[in-house]
Amino acid sequence: MAIQKSTGILLARQNLRETSIILTFYTPDFGKIKGIVRGVRGPLGRYGGGSLEIFAYDELVFYERRKSDIYTVSQCDLIDFFSPIREDLTRLAYAAYMVELLDSVTALADPNRDAFELLLNSLRMLAGESSAKRVARIFEIKLLNLLGLMPALDACVTCAKALGADSRFSFRHGGLICSACLKTDADSHSIMPGTVRFIEHVRGVEFEKVSRIKVSAEVGKELEAILRKFLDYHIERRLKAVKFLTEIERS
């Protein structure tokens, strides 16, 4: 059983027996992996320093177990704890949302280095002075684009004809529909041209430049509503972090 090394961001953790836990990491080299870490719970736990906390960025050493897709993690050393995020409840909620979203839309052992870099860079941006909501919207758009789940915005998603000013967003069809196709989805949603332009711009620009993109409060509000409903429609399970975010926004 070959020993493997990689870095990884912790997406989820689950207690196993009295002293062990199962961790889910997203790595640049192996994609999403699950690994058992033993002897970490209780007064004699052998790990400290935050390396086993959600969205911690760690250096990992692990190896395969016979007849199992769950690795054994023998070493887990902290690289970045993203302390500024953990000191702010809103930023903490958005970080939890991003890692849960990535976990929900990716399969085990399907490497995507760009997805890893997107999560890492988004956490770094979230730890800075950027708006937490804007970081989350950028993350959502770029993740959808990377995974081939991006809604169609350049032509009618049902008939491929050019779009007019009266086009609407269809969650069912996964993109904009023209006036002639409105009858195919009575629940389609109006969308401002500025919202469409923002989505297209974020999708196409390099991540290093996204922090400079400005968005009006009106577009930001509509964008949040549309992307959240679109993700809810196309993800099989309701994300726990969304409920947490909703509670924070109401308080």
Question: How do the pLDDT tens digits run along the chain, 251 residues long?
Answer: 589 999 999 999 998 877 889 999 999 999 999 999 987 765 445 566 689 999 999 999 999 887 788 999 999 999 999 999 999 999 999 999 999 999 999 999 999 999 999 999 999 999 999 999 999 999 999 999 999 999 999 999 999 999 998 999 999 999 999 999 999 999 999 999 999 999 999 999 999 898 788 889 999 999 999 999 999 888 877 899 998 898 888 87
The pTM of this model reads 0.93
CA distance 186 to 27: 41
Amino acid at 135: V
Question: Regarding beta strands 168-170 and 70-80, do their DSSP bridges make them parallel or antiparallel, or are they unpaired?
Answer: unpaired
CA distance 131 to 229: 21
Distance of CA 178 to the CA centre of its chain: 30
SS3 244: helix
- Give the pLDDT confidence score for residue 46 in this predicted structure: 59
CB neighbours (10 Å) of residue 109?
A: 11
Integer-rounded Cα Rg, in Å, for the chain is 20
Number of residues that this document lists for the chain: 251
* Contact (Cβ atoms closer than 8 angstroms) between residue 110 and residue 32: yes
Cα–Cα nearest to 235, from 81, 92, 106, 58? 106
Which tokens is 97 given?
């949302």
Residue position matching structure tokens 């577009």 = 219
- Give the pLDDT confidence score for residue 44 in this predicted structure: 42
- Give the pLDDT confidence score for residue 47 in this predicted structure: 62
